[in-house]
Amino acid sequence: MTPRPAFALLPLLAACGATLYQPGRGVSFDPADQVSDDEIRSAFGARPQLRGPMRVAYFAFDDQHATELERSLAGLPRVEAIYRIPELLVLGKRRFEQAVPREAQPLSIRQLRLQAARAHCQLLVVVDYGYRIDRSVNGWVALNALVLPAFFAPFLDSEVESYMDSYVIDVKNGYLYGQFNARESGEKKRLTVWSDADEKLVAAQWQALLAATKGTLDKVVSGPGAADPVKAADSAAHPAPVGG
């Protein structure tokens, strides 16, 4: 049996496996952020209090989509100003520090509310976004025994999953207006090593997640009394799927 040339395996080795994009994976909510019994009783007594035009502060781990996210939040009814809370103020993270730390950095909701209050914002929105691309081989991989076909054969299948988790909090009293968990998944079959079809699917899923989240946020800020957080979260958890 003729051994396969080592370089013929390179397209297979480079193309297979998982790609994970999750900017917030290096951050955890601060376990040392203890609360008193008085604070718990106060939380039980908190009520929705959104009235009139409002300023919205938001915190997002994702620099890549910050502009689109901010534009979407600015388009909500009654929102007159948007403020993005800098990571430096709550995590100590500077602009070019992209690497995920070995130990999770603590993130405090209290600190986020304080920064929002300093900017005179009434509403705080915390957004966590990420996606995963998982590529595997199909039957066409047999052609990789030959050198040139390995570069052009559609021997890859790709599964793509994206999520966006959003938390809407009253800055003054900590009232949780809603927790929205949106998900999108899809797949692309018979891709070549050069294909970017799964990356395009990621982009389409992002747009679907953003639209679904904006729809539920619209219900929260559209009028007095706000939306029912449970119903709003349920509607966001089952958005229309993006075609595979």
Question: How does residue 179 score in pLDDT terms, banded at 50, 70 and 90?
Answer: confident
Residue 242 lies in a domain: no
Q: What share of the chain is helix, strand, coil (3-state, %, to 5)?
A: 35, 30, 35
| Rounded distance between C-alpha atoms, residue 209 and residue 215, angstroms | 10
Sign of CA dihedral 7, 11, 15, 17: negative
Residue 93 lies in a domain: yes
Question: How does residue 234 score in pLDDT terms, banded at 50, 70 and 90?
Answer: very low
The structural domain count of the chain equals 1
Angstrom distances, CA of residue 175 to CA of 39, 50, 87, 143, 229: 12, 11, 23, 59, 11
pLDDT of 166 higher than 60: yes
CATH number, position 85 = 3.30.160.150
> Which residue blocks in 75-228 are alpha helix, DSSP H?
87-91, 109-118, 149-152, 197-221
Question: What digits encode the pLDDT tens for the residues 94-112?
Answer: 555 555 555 556 778 888 9
> Which residue blocks in the chain are alpha helix, DSSP H?
10-15, 37-45, 66-74, 87-91, 109-118, 149-152, 197-221, 229-236
Residue 204 lies in a domain: yes
Range of the domain at 98: 6-30+49-236
Query: What is the structure's pLDDT at 108?
Result: 81
Question: What digits encode the pLDDT tens for the residues 2-26?
Answer: 444 444 445 554 556 677 777 766 5
- Closest to 121 (Cα-Cα) out of 177, 66, 82: 82
Question: How does residue 56 score in pLDDT terms, banded at 50, 70 and 90?
Answer: very high
Mean pLDDT calculated for residue range 116-143: 82
pLDDT of 240 higher than 70: no
- Closest to 55 (Cα-Cα) out of 148, 152, 121: 121
Query: What is the structure's pLDDT at 244?
Result: 35
| Backbone torsions φ then ψ of 83, nearest 5 degrees | -130, 125
Mean pLDDT of all residues in the chain? 74
Residue 41 lies in a domain: no
Mean pLDDT calculated for residue range 82-87: 91
- Closest to 178 (Cα-Cα) out of 138, 133, 119, 236: 236
pLDDT of 79 higher than 60: yes
Residue 39 lies in a domain: no
Mean pLDDT calculated for residue range 180-189: 88
Query: What is the structure's pLDDT at 151?
Result: 64
Return the higher-pLDDT residue of 213 and 100: 213
Mean pLDDT calculated for residue range 164-191: 87
